[in-house]
Amino acid sequence: MNVCTRAAAILTCSMMLLGGCATHKADAPPSQTAGPQPLDRESLVLLVNDKTAECRKEKDQSLCTNYFSDDGRFVRLMHEDGAKREGVWFVDDSDRLCILWSGRIKPLCFLLYEQADGSYTMIKKGKHISTLLDSVDGNPKGL
C-alpha cells in the first residue's frame, strides 16, 4: 500500500470513528447499533407534531394517550386510572424526542426507532422505555 492510499485509509477510518462518536450508540440497544438508525429531527417532528399517539409503557405494559401540540405542549393520559400529566415536548440537538414535565427541570429524552409493525420504540440510555403504537392527526380526544 502506497503512502497516499494508506493516508486515505487512515483518514476514512478516523472519519468513521468520529462519526460514530457523534451518534447515540450508548442510547441504542446493542441489537440496534449495527442495524436501524434512530429517527432524525425532521422525521421526529413529522411523527408527533400536532398528533395524538397511543403508547405503552414497557415497565408495566400500561397504556396511555399522548398529545403533542404544534406549539410544544404535551399531555399524557393514562388509560387505567385517568391520570393526566402535562409538560412540553421538543427535539434536542442530538435528534432525541424530549419531554419536560411541568415542575421538573430535567427533560426525559429518547431515541426513536421505527419497527416493522409501524410502531416506534422509545430508547433512553439503551433501555426500551415506551412504545408509540399508533397516531392520528390533531387532538380528537381533547387533551
pLDDT along the chain (143 residues), means of 10: 37 36 45 75 97 97 97 97 97 97 97 96 96 96 94
Q: What is the pLDDT of residue 72?
A: 97
108 burial class (0-12, 13-18, 19+ CB within 10 angstroms)?
middle
Domain 30-137 adopts which CATH fold?
A: Lipocalin (2.40.128)
Task: Sketch the domain layout of the chain as residue ranges.
Answer: 30-137
Look at the pTM and tell me if it is higher than 0.85: no
d(CA 133, CA 1): 52
Q: What is the pLDDT of residue 27?
A: 53
Q: What is the pLDDT of residue 29?
A: 52
* Amino acid (one-letter) located at 128: H
Q: What is the pLDDT of residue 36?
A: 84
Q: What is the pLDDT of residue 25?
A: 44
Q: What is the pLDDT of residue 34?
A: 60
- β-bridge partners, 128: 123
